[in-house]
Amino acid sequence: MRDIRNIAVIAHVDHGKTTLVDELLKQSGTFTAHQEVEDRVMDSNDIEKERGITILSKNTAIDYEGVRINIIDTPGHADFGGEVERVLKMVDCVLLLVDAQEGVMPQTKFVVKKALQLGHRPIVVINKIDKPGGDPDRVVDEVFDLFDQMGASEEQLEFPVVYAAARDGYAKLDLAEPNENLIPLFTTILNEVPKPKGSDENGLQLQVFTLDYDNFIGKIGIARIFNGTISMGETVTLVKADGEKIKGRVTKLIGFKGVDRFDIKTAGTGDIVAVAGFETIDVGDSLCDPANPMPLDPMHIEEPTLSVTFAVNDSPLAGTEGKYVTSNKIDERLNAEMNTNIAMNYEQIGEGKFKVNGRGELQICILAENMRREGFEFSIGRPEVIVREIDGVKMEPFEHLVIDTPDEFSGAIIEKLGKRKANMTNMVPMGSGYTRLEFEIPARGLIGIRTEFLTETKGEGVMNHSFLEFRPHSGTVESRKYGALVSMENGEAVGYSIFNLQDRGIMYIKPQDKVYNGMVVGQHAKGNDLDINPIKAKQQSNVRSSGADEAIKLVPPRVMSLENALEWIEEDELVEVTPISVRVRKRDLDPNVRKRTAKKVKFAD
């Protein structure tokens, strides 16, 4: 049996996981001298590269001093917690990265809790020790306190600590040592990570932890072998989570090294491989020895907390910018997404309407962003939290919210969150002019708050949250304070008209943008909606004045990104998404219908 170590790199978002994996790949000699390697090589998806975040957990393998080290890079964002949870079951140890300045953050707590429950003894890597505001000793104490709070065992509390600056490619076991390379980290991994349990002699037990899809070979399950061996062309039994057994043949067996995938003939205990040949394979399924199938426990995946309605675009500009506009195409694409993304699900709820359930706004935004880049055109409704009924009581998801803000804005933040039913649990001065605030808040209260929060803190605040639990429904939450400026005409916007409307609020359009009746073209300065005419041009007259016309000065419009638009809209509005534009519109385009509906709602209240 080969000498193997299986580790996952876990941390809060932006603490340097992917950068560390990059350096491990480079310094282990995985890339040849002439091979060109880009930064954050594990972030393969366009959106991951642009935003600098990891969305999908990915695995790689390196060989160091004759030992095969399988590394899984995981997302740090709470919305992708489902990805992290599964991965932790596949490894024997975790590298817990903590930023030397920020210390323990909400997502750190989430991943640590999962890792400790599974019995892992983490290797703690204090990263970014080169930061001027870094305080590695304080952060080690924070990590110890966190482990203690989470009920860690004596052995888990004796965790090894490595100090690193992943970007500069060095690690050390003592802060006084010189900055050289990552050898101290490699040595710690070889000494501290347990070897895989199990044996090649036992019957096959392999469990799938993530999915991939290939147009030629179909669904691919990426899995860890806990016992036995598997070979290309072998007949094995697939055991589903509900106990159903399906016999099938392994049509392709794929191994990993660096960023490459290649076909292999056979693999044994402790290996992480990709297996093809089973169309119904899913996360948590086991592949077993047909003579004596002994499946592993199915995985528990955290349930979705947010739902959004995707629908066919029916605005007057429908079909003018997108390539795929029919409900069949949207259905196909959502189905393909669910093939590989198990933290989401969807159902058809009407003609051309699909309800998509996910773990958070970011996760749903990324699906929508990917779809628009592929040429899809559709509309999205306002995100809603999924309310459950437990023992006859309406329960809603609550989140643990952590905010780091400059001291002078903390009062305004506390007031704003109080109106959204947030309950403050902790307030700690962080030094250097910052305060950390901790809240428990209904997930509904977080919808639409990010933009307001950034405005309130002048872009200097940092906000993070992770799912806490379901609690009894907490009544109504304050929503948007401002009304919408709604176009009452179809056509192209005119500079003269926009100039005259600027005093009414913030405009979202510029001259020559296409507008239609019922489209939201700006944010009203008051609380009510206002119908306006943005296509009215200046009339010519017979009287010519001696003075020239006054020059109009236009304020640049606020450009709405997909995330801003989803946060901003109310119940009666939709976001129209096309490969070229993101527009906000009223659900009912006819102003008379809107007035009648508003009267009914008022009457009902």
The annotation status of 30 as a binding-site residue, yes or no, is no
Helix (H, G, I), strand (E, B), or coil: what is residue 278?
coil
The annotation status of 326 as a binding-site residue, yes or no, is no
The residues near 195 (Cβ < 8 Å, ≥ 6 apart) are 3, 4, 5, 92, 270
Rounded to whole angstroms, how far apart are CA atoms 544 and 547? 9
Question: What is 77-138 written as a DSSP string?
Answer: SGGGHHHHHHHHTT-SEEEEEEETTT-S-HHHHHHHHHHHHTT--PEEEEE-TTSTT--HHH
Tokens 């959502």 sit at which residue?
334
The answer to whether the CB of 388 falls within 8 A of the CB of 395 is: yes
Question: What is 582-604 written as a DSSP string?
Answer: EEEEESS--HHHHHHHHHHHHHH
The annotation status of 355 as a binding-site residue, yes or no, is no
The annotation status of 592 as a binding-site residue, yes or no, is no
The annotation status of 455 as a binding-site residue, yes or no, is no
The annotation status of 476 as a binding-site residue, yes or no, is no
Instruction: Give the residue among 100, 158, 155 at the shortest CA–CA distance from 131.
Output: 100
Rounded to whole angstroms, how far apart are CA atoms 564 and 575? 10
Runs of H (alpha helix) within 398-442: 410-418
Rounded (5°) CA angle 387-389-391: 155
Element spanning 261, H or E: strand 260-263
The annotation status of 19 as a binding-site residue, yes or no, is yes
The residues near 548 (Cβ < 8 Å, ≥ 6 apart) are none
The answer to whether the CB of 248 falls within 8 A of the CB of 50 is: no
The annotation status of 15 as a binding-site residue, yes or no, is yes
Which phi-psi region, left, alpha or beta, contains residue 546 (left: φ > 0; alpha: ψ -120 to 50)? alpha
User: Binding site: which residues?
Assistant: 14-19, 127-130
User: Binding site for GTP: which residues?
Assistant: 14-19, 127-130
